[in-house]
Amino acid sequence: MERLSKEQKNLMEKLKKEVVQGGYSTISLKMKDIVFCQPFSQDYEIFSLMQDDFGKMSKVSQSFIRVRKNAEEVAKKKKKYPSLDDIYGIISKTAKLKPHQTEILRQTECNLFTKFCTPRLCGTQILTSIPKNKKIIITADTVYPRKISEKILEKCVLNNIPDFHCELVVPHECDGDDIFEMIIQKSECPTEKILHIGGDVAEDVEKPILRGAKSLLIAPPVPLMVKSGRLRGFLQAKLPADYDSEKYRPLRYALGLYCSNCFGVPRSKSFHSDFCGDPYMMGFAVLGTLSLIKHHEPADSVENSIIKALGKNPDSRRGKDDFIKLFENFFGDIPLPDSENGCELPIEFLKNHSLEADRQLIREYMPADDFKKWAEMSREPQLSPVGENFHSGKIWKIADTLFPSGTKVRRITENILDRIKFNLKLK
């Protein structure tokens, strides 16, 4: 559904030209965030869907999100590329699970991970452009078993590209820690004839170049979204302590869809715009998220005019329609909290903190008086930094500073803080 801007189309043409005309014998691609992406702005969302099952099996006070993330951190200290079995071996011990309970959770995670994989547009276009005489190697850079990676390839590639053939490299199956060495061996060609495509500077650019190969860096959707404007930082600042809580799950899903659908192909931030100067993206993020509220009452006449103007702009309206279809497709069968808390925040952001270029996108659809009021009320928002740690708020920032992740004292601290959070929810 993603509509490409002129800039994105030009970028894709350059990428495909390099793949086709660069004189390479082997094209190597990372799987996650290149071949496929997921409609989540944070990796832990899948784990949150397993909380109910986990709560029935274990009496530990920590959430499954924390247990699962801790287990992966521990596993990575033992192996650079741990498998899902390694992780669940640790979970089984820390959560005191029976073997059949561990297997249920492991299988559930595999099923959920596969379900939410969707083709990333730039990856699909690159794979489609690769000539038949070139070898394709795809690195399944996840903890999941080979059979799961094969299912994802079938879903995201084979169903879209007929007669597709590739070699699949699964890191946790390799003996050593150098995955690029495995890629070189699989390629059966000189390293200068290999083009590697990925989203990590150290692993996907520096390492191949040092070995004599060429590389292309394609940023993942989430960091592209974060850098595209101020919306994500605004949401984090508005919900500093409980952005990751259950009641804001619909808002996080909406933001995840925005990432996967609107940043499937890299794009640059537009000057003086929080939505890349694109009314489609504004409609998708603002009207789409607002559609999750059953009965929204605009806070004032200006907000009412903005909503009506977005509805009149054909591109913004199409963005909203695409959002509704995608949300139903991905999350229609998932029970959501009764309250749509937070889904009004994107329109609040647009009303109170809009930039000039974004206002101009819908100016022709607004009464002049309301547009003037809108411009006059715009001010700089309070923003919070966006990081990988799913815990937010001052108390967790203090914990991050005093007790580094992975240390024994940090695990004790996390246990205490999780108990505090759990008890507050009960109240």
Summarize pLDDT for 3-62 with one digit per residue, the tens: 788 889 999 999 999 999 999 999 999 999 999 999 999 888 999 999 999 999 999 999
Enter the tokens of residue 162. Answer: 């007929």
Is the model's pLDDT at 276 over the cut of 70?
yes
As a whole number of angstroms, the distance between CA 122 and CA 126 comes to: 6
What one-character DSSP code corresponds to residue 326? H
Compute the distance between CA of residue 304 and CA of residue 204 in angstroms, rounded to an integer: 47
Q: Which residues contact 363 (CB under 8 A, 6 or more apart)?
A: 371
Q: Residue 214: beta bridge partners?
A: 195
What pLDDT band is residue 338 in, cutting at 50, 70 and 90? confident
pLDDT of residue 13: 94
Q: Please give the Cα distance from 199 to 37 (Å, whole number).
A: 12
Residue 403 or residue 96, greater confidence: 96
Please give the helix or strand (H or E) that residue 300 lies within, else none: none
pLDDT(425) > 80: no
CB 20 within 8 A of CB 131: yes
Q: Tell how strand 135-139 and strand 26-30 pair up.
A: parallel
Report which residue type is found at 313.
Answer: N
SS (H, E, C) 81-128: CCCHHHHHHHHHHHCCCCHHHHHHHHHHHHHHHHHCCEECHHHHHHHH
Find tokens 């504004």 and name the residue. 282
pLDDT-derived band at 342, boundaries 50, 70, 90: very high
Distance separating alpha carbons of residues 86 and 74, to the nearest angstrom: 10
Distance CA 366, CA 363 (A): 5
Q: What is the DSSP letter of 172?
A: G
Query: What pLDDT shows up at residue 401?
Result: 56
Distance of CA 246 to the CA centre of its chain: 18
Separation of alpha carbons 59 and 56, rounded Å = 8
216/267 Cα distance (integer angstroms): 15
End-to-end C-alpha distance for the chain, whole angstroms: 43
The CA-based diameter of the chain, rounded to the nearest angstrom, is 68
Statement: residue 427 has pLDDT above 50: no
Do residues 384 and 240 make contact, with C-beta atoms less than 8 angstroms apart? yes
pLDDT in tens, 167-218: 999 999 887 768 898 999 999 999 999 999 999 999 999 999 999 999 999 9
Q: Position 25: which residue type?
A: S
Q: What is the pLDDT of residue 289?
A: 97
More confident residue, 390 or 398: 398
Average pLDDT of the chain to the nearest whole number? 90
Q: How far apart are CA 221 and CA 225, in angstroms?
A: 6
Question: What does the angle CA 49 – CA 51 – CA 57 come to, to the nearest 5 degrees?
Answer: 135
What is d(CA 427, CA 424) in angstroms, rounded to the nearest whole number? 5
Neighbours of 176 (CB within 10 A): 9
Tokens of 179: 């995955």
Q: Quick one: which H or E segment has residue 216? A: strand 214-217
pLDDT at 391 over 70: no
**DSSP string covering 306-355:** HHHHHHHSHHHHHHHHHHHHHHHHHHTTS---SS-TTTTHHHHHHHHH--
- Beta bridge partners, 137, equal 28, 167
CATH topology of domain 6-40+117-218: Rossmann fold (3.40.50)
Dihedral sign for Cα atoms in the order 9, 13, 15, 19:
positive
Burial of 388 (0-12, 13-18, 19+ CB in 10 A): exposed
Residue length of the chain: 427
Task: Note the pLDDT of residue 400.
Answer: 56
Look up residue 40 and give its two tokens: 């989540």
pTM of the complete model: 0.87
Q: Which residue has the higher pLDDT, 287 or 271?
A: 287
Residue 121 has pLDDT above 90, yes or no: yes
DSSP 332: T
Contacts of 207 (CB under 8 A, 6+ apart): 180
Give the pLDDT confidence score for residue 426 in this predicted structure.
Answer: 39
Q: Where are the domains of the chain?
A: 6-40+117-218, 45-115, 223-377, 394-426
Burial class of residue 134 in the structure, from the number of CB atoms within 10 Å of its CB (0-12 exposed, 13-18 middle, 19+ buried): middle
Q: Using CA atoms, how far apart are residues 223 and 59, in angstroms rounded to an integer?
A: 36
Q: For residue 295, name the pLDDT band (cuts at 50, 70, 90).
A: confident
User: Which pLDDT band holds residue 1 (cuts at 50, 70, 90)?
Assistant: low
